[in-house]
Structure 1
């Protein structure tokens, strides 16, 4: 038994060493840059929605915008590569490197980084779909997923649990922004005027991203509570639902500006952030 534990530990150490390669670092950083660009485009689409224009304020809509430019196919494959690398890096964070954390932090890291690994992998698959000419609607995909899940045994509790998890991650982003915990990841400009601007972008961006995630999570819970899976329409649906309220366009504009701020911050983090 001891020999088996030792062999497993050695295999985990070898896998962790492999995940620390320069190549994966570069690809993961490019993935951060891709996600940053998507946040900027989603924020721009959200501003258009607030002004009454059509659009899809979610990753599929943003990727569709990027695919429409002359370099679209190359951008799609580059996006797929970056997101795949970032998903692998987050998966290693959730498993291999989380081994060294105290037991109390290990579960949280597994959930947060594991969720991000799935999210980045999903965005990568969307890039792949556009690259090979298979375009979809993430709102439809979310509805289909919710419908399938809610019809399964324990589907309603599972959908509620998913919504609560997304809300929890949203709260984590808000707290991280308010407490400026992102400075642990980005300290290159610490103590400079430029650093103050980057810090402000980080606070606004993390808070806006957190609010957007909470809205998405709430739609999952509403869908489960009312047994209407069509209500869970992802980020685009949650932002459009917000827009339809009295002060919705103003709130949507604030969230959109925050998402753009997060995108700019994430671009800087992609280049200078600690991995």
Structure 2
């Protein structure tokens, strides 16, 4: 009995230590840098998409294209290392928030929603952190090609094709969530919006338009996964860049890309503002 109590006390001490570390100002400030890096990536993707709309870009309009742009700039590798490590800290913060937030949240439904939401954010930032660090180390690759190759591996079986459809539906769901969050201004719950009119207005404008644009882009990605599964053509599942290329072929495709590109730039600006005003 005493050993069991000792184990419980030890676990509680570890938990308190982890919570103190997650709430330490230094760690929080490093994690905030992850929002800045995410914002930079979205701004670059938006810029590439805008050039694509004008017919003047051969770069991939996705994370690979954005990070390759950073890597090619003077001091770009250093920035990628810093950004990758900052996003890694942000991942750890979200994991801590998943655990401690679930303990503080009342109700099974609310607790489950909190866990799914924060774990999802940890996965997204984790993927971007790994990609950034790989580019910093000189081993980055085309994410669209990797997605297509992975999809091709799943197409060989009925279960694999169902998995591709499920992935497409999940991405469509995430896209709808972004559209809803932008239209309803639900992103304001993630921030301590300042009282200054100029900054508050900038947050609202960049948040609304940014979330709407990112949601539309994700809807395109999800539809491409579904199209790939139905047609048994993995080449169609090439991620964001492939979805934007398909949009470009639509009537008024240039206008659609211009709107999405501008929105992604605004989303990037919102992410930078979030680094300053998000509670940690």
Contact 1:40 1:260 in 2 (8 A): yes
Gaps of 5+ in 2: none
| 1:74 and 2:52 are equivalent in the alignment | no
Residues 202-217 of structure 1: pairs in structure 2 closer than 5 A:
202-217=207-222
Q: Which residue of 1 aligns with 2:46?
A: 43
In the alignment, the residues of structure 2 paired with residue 95 and residue 212 of structure 1 have an alpha-carbon distance, to the nearest angstrom, of 31
- Which of 143-152 and 201-210 deviates more? 143-152
Contact 1:242 1:252 in 2 (8 A): yes
Q: How many residues align?
A: 274
In the alignment, the residues of structure 1 paired with residue 113 and residue 227 of structure 2 have an alpha-carbon distance, to the nearest angstrom, of 25
- Which of 256-265 and 160-169 deviates more? 160-169
Q: Which residue of 2 aligns with 1:198?
A: 203
Distance 1:250 1:229, change over 3 A: same
Distance 1:183 1:124, change over 3 A: same
Q: Which residue of 2 aligns with 1:89?
A: 93
| 1:28 and 2:4 are equivalent in the alignment | no
Gaps of 5+ in 1: none
Residues 126-275 of structure 1: pairs in structure 2 closer than 5 A:
126-151=131-156, 154-190=159-195, 192-275=197-280
TM-score, normalised with respect to structure 1: 0.90
SS in structure 1 at match of 2:171 = helix
TM-score, normalised with respect to structure 2: 0.89
Q: Which residue of 2 aligns with 1:64?
A: 68
Q: Which residue of 1 aligns with 2:104?
A: 100
The correspondence for 2:59, drawn from 55, 65, 88, is: 55
The Cα of 1:63 is off from its aligned counterpart by 0.6
Contact 2:101 2:114 in 1 (8 A): no
SS in structure 2 at match of 1:274 = coil
- Which of 252-261 and 191-200 deviates more? 191-200
**RMSD (Å) for aligned C-alpha atoms:** 2.3
